[in-house]
């Protein structure tokens, strides 16, 4: 999955993880295997069980295609592990399950930290998110509750997943006291969360996924009621202005002048549906389609729309235990041999 609008024609591990998920939802094992093989070979030094995938790959100034940043990204790693575990279950393929389990353990070992007063907490990656002895940097959108819960369901012998879920609930709710999720936040030992000055406590292109993940939750998920209530101000803004804001200052709830793009509207629709605001959700899908007709969507907007439209069309659901419920209407496209 390439970001064709970028100068270096980059791909990120996040994009590969989403592509794996969508291939599974589509029951396209051939595509799944192709994406998995490319990801493992190009981002994980040929072995996902031994190396976390590098987050950034693209074309260098000298024209060579290679890893541009070897640091990993925990959201991608979680989604890849989840897709492998769910593919192993759906397609009865033990090798997927084994690789998913090893990668999931590596996430816990290398991309989570014990934060006093919060517990075991997901960090955005293995390097660069512990700026001081008592300070950590978190990204709420990196913690889809259903993905964490699904991994915990598939790997019940590791109690750390339950502990990670407990902190995730607080990361998602406590960082958004005014009902708008931040892109990034700081957490201090035994002091709770604080705005991230580096990103001006902004809610923007990362945070839009927090609302999406909340909307995609099964209503019986233990975190669903609290998240739907916490993000009521986001839904209220859409009701008042006809679209989601592109940016919000989370310290005061003030939105910027611009509305979000097509992907923002699509991503908001499941949350609105989950809150019973179906007409408003329909209006966001219509707005997204209208904007896409006028301006072709880029990588990120397309991904947001795929998640939202696939869910609204009934192509998949997340169960209360986080496992995937794909609604396949055609036989599996077998992997090439």
Residue tagged active-site, from 28, 33, 75, 183: 75
Residue 276, token pair as written in the block: 């019973």
Fill in the DSSP letter of residue 68: E
Judge whether 8 counts as a catalytic residue.
no
Q: What is the pTM of this model?
A: 0.95
SS3 132: strand
Task: Determine phi and psi for 167, rounding to 5 degrees.
Answer: -70, -30
pLDDT at 2: 61
Mean of pLDDT over the chain: 95
pLDDT in tens, 9-21: 568 899 999 999 9
The residues pairing with 22 across neighbouring beta strands, listed in sequence order, are none
User: pLDDT-derived band of residue 330, with 50, 70 and 90 as boundaries?
Assistant: low
Residue 332 has pLDDT above 90, yes or no: no
Segment 314-326 mean pLDDT = 99
Bridge partners (DSSP) listed for residue 28: 333
Distance from C-alpha of 186 to C-alpha of 175, rounded to nearest angstrom: 9
Confidence class for position 76, pLDDT limits 50, 70, 90: very high
HSE (side-chain half, CA atoms, 13 Å) at 171: 32
Res. 336 pLDDT band, cuts 50 70 90? very low
14 in active site = yes
CA distance 207 to 146: 17
**Residue 267 in this model has a pLDDT that exceeds 90:** yes
| Cβ contact 123:142 at 8 Å | no
**Cβ–Cβ < 8 Å for 249, 199:** no
- The tens digit of pLDDT for each residue in 297-311 reads 789 999 999 999 999
Q: Which helix (H) or strand (E) holds 135?
A: strand 135-138
């Amino acid at each position: 999955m390439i970001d064709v609008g970028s100068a270096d024609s980059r791909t990120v591990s996040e994009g590969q993880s989403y592509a794996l998920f969508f291939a599974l939802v589509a029951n396209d094992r051939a595509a799944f295997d192709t994406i998995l093989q490319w990801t493992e070979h190009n981002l994980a030094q040929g072995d996902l069980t031994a190396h976390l995938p590098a987050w950034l790959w693209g074309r260098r100034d000298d024209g060579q295609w290679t890893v541009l940043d070897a640091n990993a990204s925990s959201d991608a790693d979680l989604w890849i592990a989840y897709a492998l575990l769910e593919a192993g279950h759906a397609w009865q393929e033990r090798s997927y399950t084994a690789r998913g389990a090893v990668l999931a353990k590596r996430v816990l070992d290398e991309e989570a930290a014990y934060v006093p007063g919060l517990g075991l907490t997901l960090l955005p990656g293995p390097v660069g998110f512990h700026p001081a002895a008592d300070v950590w940097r978190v990204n709420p959108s990196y913690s889809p509750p259903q993905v964490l819960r699904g991994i915990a369901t598939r790997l019940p012998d590791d109690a750390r997943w339950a502990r990670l879920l407990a902190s995730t609930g607080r990361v998602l709710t406590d960082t958004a006291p005014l009902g708008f999720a931040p892109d990034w936040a700081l957490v201090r030992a035994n002091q709770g969360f604080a705005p991230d000055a580096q990103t001006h406590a902004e809610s923007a292109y990362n945070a839009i996924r927090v609302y999406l993940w909340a909307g995609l939750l099964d209503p019986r998920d233990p975190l669903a009621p609290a998240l739907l209530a916490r993000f009521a101000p986001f839904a209220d803004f859409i009701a008042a202005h006809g679209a989601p804001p592109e940016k919000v200052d989370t310290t005061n709830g003030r939105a910027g002048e611009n509305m979000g793009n097509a992907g923002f509207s699509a991503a908001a629709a499941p949350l609105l549906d989950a809150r019973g605001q179906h007409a408003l959700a329909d209006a966001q899908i219509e707005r997204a389609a209208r904007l896409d007709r006028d301006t072709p969507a880029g990588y990120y907007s397309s991904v947001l729309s795929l998640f939202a439209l696939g869910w609204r069309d009934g192509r998949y659901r997340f169960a209360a235990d986080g496992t995937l419920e794909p609604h396949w209407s055609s036989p599996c496209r077998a992997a090439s041999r």
